[in-house]
Amino acid sequence: MPIDRRRAVSMVRLAGAYARHVVRHAASRRAGGQDGLVAFAELYARDRITALTPQDREELPAHGQCVACGMCTFAAPRAGYLRADRLPAQLTRTLPDLWTSRDLPYDDVDWASGAAVCPTGVPLPQMRDFVRRRLERDGVVPTAPQVPPAVLPLPRPYGQ
Amino acid sequence: MPQDARPLSPGEFDVVVVGAGITGAGVARDAALRGLRVCLVDQHDLGAGTTWGSSGMIHGGLRYIEYDWETTRVSCLDGGYIKRIAPHLLFPVVFLLPIYPDDPFGIEKKETALEVYDRFQPYKAGRPHVRLTAEEALRLEPGLRPGLTGAVSMDEWGVDAARLVALNAIGAREAGAQVRTYTEVTGVVRDGGAVRGVRVRNRLSGAAETIPARVVCNAAGPWAPRLAEMAGATLKLRPAKGVHLIYDRRITNCAIGAEAIDGRDLLLVPHANQTILGTTDDDFYGDPEHLDVSEDEVEYILQAFERVFPSIRRYRIAHANAAVRPTLFGWRHYEDDLSREYEVFDHGALDGVPGLISIAGGKMSMFRKMAEDTVDVLLRVLGRPFVPTSTHTEPLPGGESVPDVVEVAGSFGLPLPVAQRLVARHGARAEALLGDADPGERRAVLCECEPVTRAELRHVARTESVERLEDLYRRVRCTGGACLGMRCAWPAARVLGEEKGWSARRVAEEVHDFLDARWLQRPSVVRGATAAQEQLYRGAMYALGEIADPEPAAEGEATATPPPSQPVTAGD
């Protein structure tokens, strides 16, 4: 099969990039290299995309067992906006947005009573502890979103 | 953006765009902004076809590094434009690509590709890759299978695809276009050999009419060959079915790449407040109107992720979706090797059918550029002087700025979780929405999982061309959370009914149809707690007698008794 010219050019350029990479990486290894987790945190901590602990990972599957039956709300009275069923069904759905629940009165809801009546075994007290741990790490208010540079060239119009 | 109902006069439109997915909506907006008189029609809701089944990514085209660096450059550039015009709608998706000893490329080659990609990332405000040791990768994501040689990270943008379509349609409308959903094309108007409009039928009211236009732009995705055939033209695609599994929450912080049994690359993407796994890519020969997800397809995806993320089966799948990609035709290629490029077809030159232009192929990430190229051709066919596009700088509705969530919450007394989601969906228009709302409904949370307030629901029902209950999922994700509509379908249907003047029976029928449609998304994934939820769901809806068996009844006849309206206030 004849190889496409653009692909051939790309492969040649990639080969050059690979050669440069091998040399650079060897030099970097001799110099000790950079801690990957530190570099990752520098890039993404502001988006609250951070590491999960083994404990987080072990507990997370149970959070998704909520079938939104609402039984827990009868057993555990709400505290302001914080209602037992909102913990699994709303507030913990996305960890990067967990900061929005940082001021809620987590101590004022009887999570154990809510969990006791849960038909699918959602561990509400454990989830509360999970939220506390994560808020210590990710509870900061986000910075303004990044946008690309204001002036970018426009690709050439079709047929011009 | 209420549904257009005003009568059409002959020759009113320069172009009628058929298909309101991301491509058609993008074309309609671009054409309207360039001064053309546009009508956008779709047989379903906005973005209900291929776009609805997309992975929801605006990516820069890392895979094109191997084929054509210029394509990567243009893709990244366009990703940057989309981020600029809709900054509220896009969110970062950080990929963690684990490398195992049996990886066909190995970590050095993969990192080389990412070093090249880093050169293009600034175009879209992307960040450079990071190389991680095996220990670092496992500390970042302890769910990865041990034994990896290392990992690399990179990022792309995620987007609510259906909302992106809605904003394009709203933008088109604000630029003068008419937008008609649930409007099916039943025929093509011919003048001699030339196409001069379409005959349509409203699928909800049954009303038929003719939409005259100087050019018909066929952006109907997998349905495009059918429309071309109606006009006597030929459009050959190689449609491919893609399946995604949807989880009701983020199960990871990072997107994870996996290799399927046939060597295809699959992705687990933490996407807004869901997780999306997929996708399959199989030749499709059926009717794109009727798609289902087989247990084999579910197993194919889970099997792939089990190799890199062994606990994947412990997480509960909420539902699955399927869509058909309108891939350009190619013979002698595996589905995954087919080009994702797009092409604009002038059927006047190709088939001797002037007045018909088709746009096919491509990816959602390229929608803005696809629309620009299509409108360039439309201008030429219409004999109009060239006007440059402005879609790379003109913000989409709400994209003018991103309000501070804490300030919005404080100004209107909203809980932060409610304000955060509202701003993510409406951007700069969130405050106006709240300002116009009934103060009693601003804090009344109707959809608990998302969360969506009554005020927001009423706003979109009035202004965003919502015709059916299921449309609310695409506009604001109402019914899309853990409850899958169990708690919010009824009250949402009632709000919609109040806005539309529906009878009690019509409200009940909407909920009934919604339940049926939801069920069709789930048979292949119902197991464990999800099976229990299904029982609960059906029991709650039917056993309470709130949905009568929908016997034919006269409009306005109240044969079902909807539950009392009980807004749940956001808090004290």
Q: Which residue of B has its CA nearest to A103?
A: B416
Of B270, B392, B448, the CB nearest to A89: B448
| Per-residue pLDDT at B426 | 98
pLDDT band at A136 (very low <50, low <70, confident <90, very high): confident
CA–CA dist B212, A71 (Å, integer): 56
| Per-residue pLDDT at B18 | 98
Interface A-B, measured as beta-carbon pairs within 8 A, has a size of 229
Q: Which chain B residues touch A88 with a CB distance below 8 Å?
A: 482
Instruction: Classify the C-alpha dihedral B97-B98-B104-B110 as positive or negative.
Output: positive
CB contact under 8 A, A13 and B94: no
Residue identified by tokens 């995604």 is B244
CB contact under 8 A, A10 and B536: no
| Per-residue pLDDT at A4 | 79
| Per-residue pLDDT at A157 | 37
Q: Which residue of A has its CA nearest to B140?
A: A51
Q: Which residue of A has its CA nearest to B391?
A: A154
* Shortest CA gap A110–chain B (Å): 17
| Per-residue pLDDT at B480 | 85
| Per-residue pLDDT at B568 | 43
CB contact under 8 A, B94 and A154: no
CB contact under 8 A, A157 and B373: yes
Q: Which residue of A has its CA nearest to B407?
A: A141
Query: pLDDT (tens digit, 9 = 90+) per residue, B349-365?
Result: 999 999 999 999 998 99
CA–CA dist B72, B74 (Å, integer): 6
CA–CA dist B276, B267 (Å, integer): 8
Low-confidence residues of chain B: pLDDT under 70? 1-11, 337-339, 538, 541-572
Q: Which chain A residues touch B65 with a CB distance below 8 Å?
A: 10, 14
CA–CA dist B570, B421 (Å, integer): 14
Instruction: Classify the C-alpha dihedral A110-A114-A115-A117 as positive or negative.
Output: positive
- Phi, psi angles (nearest 5°) of residue B244: -125, 145
Where on the phi/psi map is residue B147: left (φ > 0), alpha (ψ -120 to 50), or beta?
left
| Per-residue pLDDT at B566 | 42
CB contact under 8 A, A148 and B84: yes
| Per-residue pLDDT at A155 | 45
pLDDT exceeds 90 at position A159:
no
* Shortest CA gap A84–chain B (Å): 12
Instruction: Classify the C-alpha dihedral B210-B228-B214-B463 as positive or negative.
Output: positive
DSSP A88: I
Amino acid letter, A134 = R
* Shortest CA gap A91–chain B (Å): 7
CB atoms within 10 A of CB A36: 21
CA–CA dist B62, B67 (Å, integer): 10
Nearest to B45 by CA among B474, B476, B498: B474
- What is the 3-class SS of B406-430, one letter each residue? HHHHHHHCCCHHHHHHHHHHHHHHH
CB B437 within 8 A of CB B459: yes
CB contact under 8 A, A94 and B272: yes
Which parts of B222-294 fold into alpha helices (H)? Answer: 224-230
Most A CBs within 10 Å, among B129, B154, B253, to test the A interface: B253
Most A CBs within 10 Å, among B256, B316, B379, B568, to test the A interface: B316
User: What are the residues facing B215 on neighbouring strands?
Assistant: B15
User: What are the residues facing B360 on neighbouring strands?
Assistant: B343
Out of A8-22, A145-159, B14-28, the most confident range is B14-28
- What the block records as the tokens of A127 is 């989830």
Q: Which residue of A has its CA nearest to B388?
A: A157
Q: Which residue of A has its CA nearest to B370?
A: A158
CB contact under 8 A, A14 and B116: yes
CB contact under 8 A, A11 and B66: yes
CA–CA dist B562, B363 (Å, integer): 42
Which parts of B358-500 fold into alpha helices (H)? Answer: 367-382, 405-412, 416-426, 430-436, 439-442, 454-463, 471-476, 489-500
pLDDT exceeds 80 at position A148:
no
* Shortest CA gap B49–chain A (Å): 26
CA distances from B461 to B107, B152, B453 (A): 50, 44, 12
Query: pLDDT (tens digit, 9 = 90+) per residue, A63-81?
Result: 999 988 889 999 999 999 9
CB B120 within 8 A of CB B198: no
CA–CA dist B411, A123 (Å, integer): 35
| Per-residue pLDDT at B315 | 95
User: What are the residues facing B152 on neighbouring strands?
Assistant: B97, B131
Q: Which chain A residues touch B483 with a CB distance below 8 Å?
A: 67-68, 89
- Phi, psi angles (nearest 5°) of residue B134: -60, -40
Q: What distance lies between CA B150 and its chain's CA centroid?
A: 34
Residues in CB range of B483: below 8 A, 6 or more apart = A67, A68, A89, B448, B449
Q: State the average pLDDT over residues A13-24.
A: 93
